[in-house]
Structure 1
């Protein structure tokens, strides 16, 4: 699995998810400051494990994690995710109506357009959800540490990295959930699905 990419795919430049300027929410989950389709932001910490918030942002119940506009001149819609120094676990998720992406299991990857603004904790779990009691997670701390500090880059994660850990792509209801118990700040400009680069076989080689 690749760890980072130059930020050449940002804002749908190489994602086959836009046709005639219409965003397909099956493949694009956050872009230009908005969550298309039924996707919505949900914050969680021990004070409330399910707290939906608008695209404009908000804070989790105990204040562990906050989502707000990043104030980035290059990408005005980018958001800032900031976890406080408390030892509580906090997460930022996208949740919505289930979509079936099973046919893309070994052909696509989740791509995050990110800017790391602080030291990266040793555990930063990226989780994809497929209904109650159905999820798969990958610790992306090492991937984030490999990227440049305070510069935009694209972080791709093959879908089969998640299906190998139990994700059911026939009912994907949460394409993105990022959580940590550490202090951390990460900016995100886009979360979307992209075609695997030619020659890339993801985590599980094609038969």
Structure 2
């Protein structure tokens, strides 16, 4: 994180228009320390609960905001079973 988001920031996955799922990642991102690399794990179930069809994903990762936000993002992966990890983000934290 170089600069925390100044406005609502969405984390989305698309599965072919009009299929998509969008989560409010603002509080999670604002909670990350500036200048210190961190991993964030978001369970796919959070996206499926928001309308994602996981069999039709065509955009696996999208961050969007109308405000200012500066971060370096790397190593984006979909990992089976990672939702059960103790450091996985609970879906209710993404509202």
Unaligned runs of 5+ in 2: none
Distance in 2, Cα, partners of 1:187 & 1:161: 23
Equivalent position to 2:38, from 146, 149, 153: 153
Name the residue aligned to 1:179: 64
CA deviation after TM superposition for structure 1 residue 183, in Å: 1.4
Higher RCO (Cα < 8 Å, 6 or more apart): 2
Q: How many matched pairs?
A: 88
* RMSD of aligned alpha carbons: 1.9
For normalisation by structure 2, the TM-score amounts to 0.81
Structure showing greater Rg: 1
Which has the larger helix fraction?
Answer: 2
Question: Which residue does the alignment assign to 2:29?
Answer: 144
The structure 1 segments of at least 4 consecutive aligned residues displaced by more than 3 Å after TM superposition are 197-200
TM-score of the pair, normalised by structure 1: 0.39
Query: Which of 31, 47, 51 does residue 162 from structure 1 map onto?
Result: 47
User: Structure 1's 121 and 181: CA in aligned 2 closer, same or farther, altered over 3 A?
Assistant: same
Structure having the higher strand fraction is 1
CA 1:126–1:198 in structure 2 vs 1: closer, same or farther (change >3 Å)? closer
Gaps of 5+ in 1: 1-115
Secondary structure of the 1:182 match is coil
Equivalent-residue separation in structure 2 for 1:164 and 1:143 (angstroms):
18
